[in-house]
Amino acid sequence: MTVATQLEWPKKTREFNSNFLDSTVWNEFEFRDDDIVISTYAKSGTTWMQQIIAQMLFSGNTELEVAEMSPWLDFRLPPRDAQLKMVKEQTHRRFVKTHLPVDALVFSPKARYIYIGRDGRDVAWSLFNHHRTLTPGFYEAMKNNPNGMGPAVERGTSDVHEFFRVWLERDGFPYWPFWENVRTWWEIRNLPNILMVHFETLKTNMPAEMRRIAKFLDITIDESHWDEIVEHCTFDWMRANGEKSVPLHGKMWENGVKSFIHKGTNGRWIDTLTPQDCAAYEARALAEVGPEAAEWLKTGKLSAGLK
């Protein structure tokens, strides 16, 4: 990939700090020219993409500690200095993840960025399961984190419908804002080192999308192991063998890996949300990110000419 030097690259304009996120870690991250950054809001296929990249880089190796190889750099646990030390010592091609909006991230023109989008309704449904199955020990650790900022996150409602309504009305509560995350990445989608991937497209046609990702990242696929690589990236395989892919081996969730890699399906909200709920969501999407991005979130369709 040839990167044009005259392009206007994103600049970091603020810090983003919460009980979960610490954007200051990026101020000290020393980029390498071949770094890969995987970005999502949350519950949009981050762990899945980490598995895909690991499998393509390492020819289907099932012994990889993917969650440790590919840390969530801006998460407050472990502390920032430990995160930075770990990635500095890595000798393989690095692929880290972030849940930050672009304007809180130090951006490298030489790194490759993959942004994964997903309909916000599907995000909320997946996030509800994630949130409700976190262990009491995790909530206690976050509550007692001396570097945390803002009110402690509680388990809250057991009603997914109520969870969605609050998440929509309060823009991502009890986590972080959804719309600015989508909007800031959408705004830079035309940069040559950005690849936009949609959860539903990846699920519907995973082998073709994996090859598109490999081409963008300049990964040479070991064709003799291609079938194994694809198999190891399926939800069924990851649910059965995901201890190495899921953060902390799934120990933060009550049912382990099976809670973290739950269903991987879209549309579970269809029988729960009312037409009024859906209209409210779609109106909010249109107002927040505009018609083209709203359509992409909903369907995965990009305008002609985009990667």
pLDDT in tens, 68-117: 999 999 998 888 899 999 999 999 999 999 999 999 999 999 999 999 99
Residue 4, pLDDT > 50, answer: no
Summarize pLDDT for 179-191 with one digit per residue, the tens: 999 999 999 999 9
**Within a domain: 2:** no
**Within a domain: 216:** yes
Neighbours of 273 (CB within 10 A): 20
Q: How many domains does the chain have?
A: 1
**Residue in this structure with the two tokens 């490759």, named with its chain if needed:** 112
- CB-count burial class (<10 Å; 0-12, 13-18, 19+) for 236: exposed
**Within a domain: 106:** yes
**Within a domain: 14:** no
**Closest Cα to residue 97, out of 87, 85, 89?**
87
CA-to-CA separations, 275 to 92, 248, 270, 278, 281, in angstroms, rounded: 49, 39, 9, 5, 10
**Within a domain: 3:** no
* Residue 14 token pair: 């603020």
Q: Which domain holds residue 140?
A: 23-299
* Residue 200 token pair: 């539903």
d(CA 34, CA 46): 19
CATH number at residue 217: 3.40.50.300
pTM: 0.91
CB within 8 A of 52, min separation 6: which ones?
210, 213, 233
**Within a domain: 13:** no
**Within a domain: 47:** yes
Q: Residue 115, SS3?
A: strand
Residue 3, pLDDT > 60, answer: no
**Within a domain: 108:** yes
d(CA 62, CA 245): 10
The whole-number pLDDT of residue 249 equals 57
CA-to-CA separations, 304 to 188, 190, 297, 301, in angstroms, rounded: 16, 12, 16, 9
Report the pLDDT averaged over residues 244-268.
68
**Residue in this structure with the two tokens 């945390």, named with its chain if needed:** 148
d(CA 73, CA 185): 18
